[in-house]
Amino acid sequence: MTKKKFTYLDALGNITDGCIAHCNSLNTEELQKEHAAIYENSTDRIKNVKSILKNCVLERKKEILNSIDSNINSTKKSDNILTSIRDKYGDLRSFLNDKILNNADIPGELTFEFRNKQSTSEEEIEFLIEDLIEMGALNEEDIEN
């Protein structure tokens, strides 16, 4: 086993860890006193910490809501396409046979499972169509033509 090479960064890290561990062990009053002794603007710094944490939460929530919006739009798009298919072909199975399994533009590996299946449920076809829409292998023009 080789011994880890000593570095000043490690030493400094250990010193810092020791200081942090000590401060973690202080009670609120002692820590407030230490904080005020080290930093001039102790109260502002505490407000700043809380504000950083809260802003991060807000930003993350915005990101998630944007992602939900984009999922809703994508679901609406696939719902519209499924409705169009049912209107034009009567059911999804006919569309699968006519326009997907015989479509040379759709990569064979995506539909391989369905070619060899004895029976396929409507729901499985729905998932396949949604996947093809999501991958961009199928769009509204394919249904019209």
Partner 1 sequence: MKDPRKALSHVNAVEKAIDELSLKDLLDLDFAATNIAGDTGVDPDWLLKEATKRTLDGRRKWPTENEISFVLFLQGTMKSIKHEAYTKQIDAVACFQEEQPSHSPSPESELVKAENEKRAKKIVEELFDHFENDEQVTAILLGKADGITPAEIRRQGEMNKSQYDTAIKRLYRYKNQHFPRGGKND
By CB under 8 A, name the binding residues for partner 1.
4, 6-24, 27-28, 31-32, 34-35, 37-39, 45-46, 48-50, 52-57, 59-61, 63-64, 67-68, 71
Token representation of residue 11: 């030493």
d(CA 69, CA 63): 10
Question: C-beta of 120: minimal distance to partner 1 in Å?
Answer: 27
Instruction: Tokens 């391989």: give the residue.
Output: 112
Residue closer to partner 1, measured from CB, 46 or 101: 46
Residue closer to partner 1, measured from CB, 77 or 86: 77
Question: C-beta of 80: minimal distance to partner 1 in Å?
Answer: 21
Question: C-beta of 40: minimal distance to partner 1 in Å?
Answer: 10
CA atoms within 13 A on the CB side of 109: 0
Residue closer to partner 1, measured from CB, 7 or 145: 7
d(CA 132, CA 119): 20
Question: C-beta of 94: minimal distance to partner 1 in Å?
Answer: 33
Residue closer to partner 1, measured from CB, 12 or 101: 12
Confirm if 68 and 75 have CB atoms less than 8 A apart.
no
- Closest by Cα among 136, 84, 132, 89 to 110: 132
